[in-house]
Amino acid sequence: MTYDPNNIFAKILRKELPCVKLYEDEDVLSFLDIMPQVEGHTLVIPKEAACDILQLSTTSASRLIMATQRIARAIKSALNPPGIMLMQLNGVAAGQTVPHIHFHVLPRHAGIDMKLHARQMVDSKTLEPVAARIRAAL
């Protein structure tokens, strides 16, 4: 897979597209997924341009996982799910749809089935109250 600098996450990083931001530092950006599988479905992306974990530098990989852990802790604190699922897909055959490495952080509750990707977009006004709770936990 070749990195496409016009992928949706690259456009979000360049502020060409909006997002419901949870966290940002010099290395990573975290925001709510606009096609959430569950309430609080969060994406954590590095600012380094890389398609997948195999192309990402070790420095960015370590900073990405540290940020993912921080976000997961905030989601656990803010939303109190009994479980947290981390999902990271590499390549189309694995289900990756955006060619920019990213982690999904998903609060998990018993009895809620999920697929790899949701199919319905949610308005940012619906996402913002959840984002505020997670930001408060950061």
Q: Are strands 103-108 and 42-46 parallel, antiparallel or unpaired?
A: antiparallel
**What are the distances in angstroms from CA 7 to CA 10, 16, 31, 97, 137?**
5, 11, 16, 10, 30
Backbone angles phi, psi at 121, to 5 degrees: -80, 145
- What was the pLDDT predicted at 109? 87
Kindly report the average pLDDT of the chain as a whole number: 93
CB burial of 100-138 (b: ≥16 within 10 Å; e: otherwise) equals: bbbbbbbbeeeeeeeeeeeeeebeeeebeebbebbbebe
Amino acid at 27: D
Mean pLDDT of 81-96: 95
- What was the pLDDT predicted at 115? 59
- What was the pLDDT predicted at 108? 93
pLDDT band of 53, cuts 50, 70, 90:
very high
pTM score, whole prediction:
0.90
Annotation marks residue 109 as catalytic? no
| Residue from 41, 100, 102, 104 carrying the catalytic annotation | 102
Mean pLDDT of 107-116: 76
The fold for domain 8-137 equals HIT family, subunit A (3.30.428)
- What was the pLDDT predicted at 114? 65
> What is residue 31's three-state secondary structure?
strand
Q: Give residue 107's region: left, alpha or beta (phi > 0; psi -120 to 50).
A: beta
